[in-house]
């Protein structure tokens, strides 16, 4: 049983953090589009970024900042314009954004991290941003987590946040997180932004290692549509405000902190997959029996990312052959006579042999999952085993609906 509990507050649940979200006039829709996460003291900062060679200016800016100095005080995020593929002017806009916020906060600009999301090829609306920053800072509060989570959304249908609380000795430690993402989501990061706050004290090197591993078991294991974005950024701040002893090496406390971080990241990753553009249900694929975790994760990602599997789930068609085909092309060798496939409670293949099952009931299982009324709420569960090895891994995605095409066909129009 997990040694923590879920609490309210999102990114402002940990001690020493404030946040804000507001309408700055960056989005044509007029919805909230500018967010701030602020630590009252310098925080240890770690980051994981898109693997795309076409990167948004804020991605390169923050990578350089964190390589030079693994500390930060503030994260500024705009929604509406991705500031990706914007040339030299996009870089200049990013630097100015950091400087504007730093001046308002009276801190060094190298303590500011920048994130952007929206339409690729569009610069940030700097005139509106300049006018909004003083108000954004003035609105920052310990109750501002929900407003910030809403302000980073683009095509998201819901804001996504979580917070956990545990104890280290006699000290309470809290961790919070928020993210955005709905489309252009694929392993190796995606069009997602995620921000995690923590009030524990941890060494920079260890914090970065923890975040990288947590990302590999969460955000790098989700896919909506197979498209990796230009802007993905995952930031984690640890400000030590809980006054716990600093964690400087792996041990029981470090493992506990990393488990919390992984739980936060997996919750947010699944929330993104669940909110995939046009999606009607979350899909979870668990693979076991491989030689190692990486092999299982690779097969799981391939299955959950298969357009044919995703389409069959949307059509509530228990076509297990598509699952078998996806597993077979994942690039992980296994003997097909060891293949086992299960959809929910329906065993469809055992030791490489197809089994009789109630197709109507299996279809109904997926219908009920889409309605959020079966097993794990709205989740379609697929379990695959390929042998007797110790490796296991999970991946998450969603079904592929008609609405996905409609949303993306009309995205900039």
Would 277 be classed as within a structural domain? no
Active site residues: 191
Residue-wise pLDDT for 66-83, tens only, equals 999 999 999 999 999 999
What's the pLDDT tens digit per position in 238-287? 999 999 999 999 999 999 999 999 999 999 998 888 877 778 889 999 99
- Higher-confidence residue of 280 and 404: namely 280
Residue 303's contacts (CB-CB under 8 Å, 6 or more residues apart) are 285, 287, 309, 323, 326, 327, 330, 382, 384, 395
Chain centroid offset of residue 172 CA: 25
- Taking the model in full, what pTM does it have? 0.88
Give tens-digit pLDDT for 1-37.
578 999 999 999 999 999 999 999 999 899 999 999 9
* pLDDT value of residue 190: 47
CATH code assigned at 371 = 3.10.20.340
Same domain, 157 and 35: yes
pLDDT of the residue at 66: 97
Specify the pLDDT at position 373.
Answer: 42
Assess whether 314 and 211 both reside in one domain. Answer: no
- Compare 371 and 303 and report the one with higher pLDDT: 303
Lowest mean pLDDT among 18-22, 315-319, 339-343, 368-372: 368-372
Q: Residue 308 domain-assigned?
A: yes
Q: Which residue has the higher pLDDT, 124 or 51?
A: 124
CA pair distance 10, 145, nearest whole angstrom: 5
Residues 288 and 203 in one domain: no
**pLDDT value of residue 413:** 55
Cα torsion through 128, 133, 136, 141, rounded to 10: 170
Residues 295 and 185 in one domain: no
**Last residue of a domain, which of 220, 241, 270?**
270
- Counting every residue, how long is the chain? 413
**pLDDT score of 376:** 46
Tell me, rounded to whole angstroms, the distance of Cα 343 from its chain centroid: 25
> 100-125 b/e with 16+ CB inside 10 Å = b?
bbbebbebebebbbbbbbbebebbbb
Query: Which structure tokens are listed for 228?
Result: 């990796």
Domain of 110? 5-270
Whether residue 276 lies inside any domain: the answer is no
Taking the C-alpha atoms of residue 304 and residue 222, their distance in angstroms, rounded to an integer, is 8
Average pLDDT over residues 38-64: 93
HEC readout, 363-374: HHHHHHHHCCCC
How high does pLDDT run on average in the chain? 92
Same domain, 133 and 235: yes
pLDDT for 189-226, tens place per residue?
Answer: 545 799 999 999 999 999 999 999 999 999 989 876 66
Structural domain count of the chain:
2
Residues 97 and 221 grouped into a single domain: yes
């Amino acid at each position: 049983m997990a040694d923590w509990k879920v609490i309210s507050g999102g990114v402002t649940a940990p001690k020493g953090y404030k946040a804000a979200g507001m309408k700055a006039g960056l989005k044509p829709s007029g919805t909230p589009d500018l967010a701030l996460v602020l630590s009252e003291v310098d925080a240890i900062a770690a980051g994981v970024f898109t693997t795309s060679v076409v990167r948004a200016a804020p991605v390169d800016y923050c990578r350089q900042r964190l390589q030079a100095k693994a500390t930060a005080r503030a994260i500024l995020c705009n929604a509406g314009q991705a500031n990706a593929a914007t040339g030299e002017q996009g870089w200049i806009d990013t630097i100015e954004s950091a400087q504007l916020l730093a001046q308002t906060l009276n801190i060094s600009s190298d303590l500011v991290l920048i994130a952007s999301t929206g339409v690729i090829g569009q610069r940030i609306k700097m005139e509106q941003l300049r006018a909004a920053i003083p108000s954004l800072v003035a609105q920052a509060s310990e109750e501002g987590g929900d407003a910030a989570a809403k302000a980073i959304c683009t095509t998201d249908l819901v804001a996504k946040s979580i917070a956990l609380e545990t104890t280290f000795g006699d000290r309470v430690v809290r961790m919070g997180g928020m993210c955005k993402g709905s489309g252009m989501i694929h392993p190796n990061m995606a069009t997602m932004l995620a921000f995690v706050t923590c009030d524990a004290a941890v060494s920079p090197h260890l914090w970065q290692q923890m975040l990288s591993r947590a990302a590999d078991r969460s955000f790098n294991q989700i896919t909506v549509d197979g498209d990796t974005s230009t802007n993905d950024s995952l930031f984690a701040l640890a400000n030590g405000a809980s006054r716990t002893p600093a964690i400087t090496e792996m041990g029981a406390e470090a493992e506990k902190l990393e488990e919390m971080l992984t739980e936060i990241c997996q919750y947010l990753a699944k929330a993104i997959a669940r909110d995939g553009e046009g999606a009607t249900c979350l899909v979870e694929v668990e693979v076991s029996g491989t030689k190692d975790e990486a092999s299982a994760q690779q097969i799981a990602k391939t299955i959950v990312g298969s357009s044919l599997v995703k389409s069959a789930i949307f059509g509530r068609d228990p076509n297990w052959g598509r699952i078998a085909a996806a597993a077979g092309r994942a690039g992980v060798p296994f003997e097909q006579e060891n293949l086992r496939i299960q959809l929910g409670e329906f065993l469809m293949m055992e030791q490489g042999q197809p089994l009789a099952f109630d197709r109507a009931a299996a279809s109904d299982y997926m219908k009920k999952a889409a309605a959020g009324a079966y097993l794990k709420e709205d989740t379609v569960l697929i379990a695959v085993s390929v042998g007797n090895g110790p490796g296991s891994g999970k991946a998450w995605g969603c079904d592929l609906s008609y609405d996905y095409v409609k949303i993306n066909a009309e995205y900039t129009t």
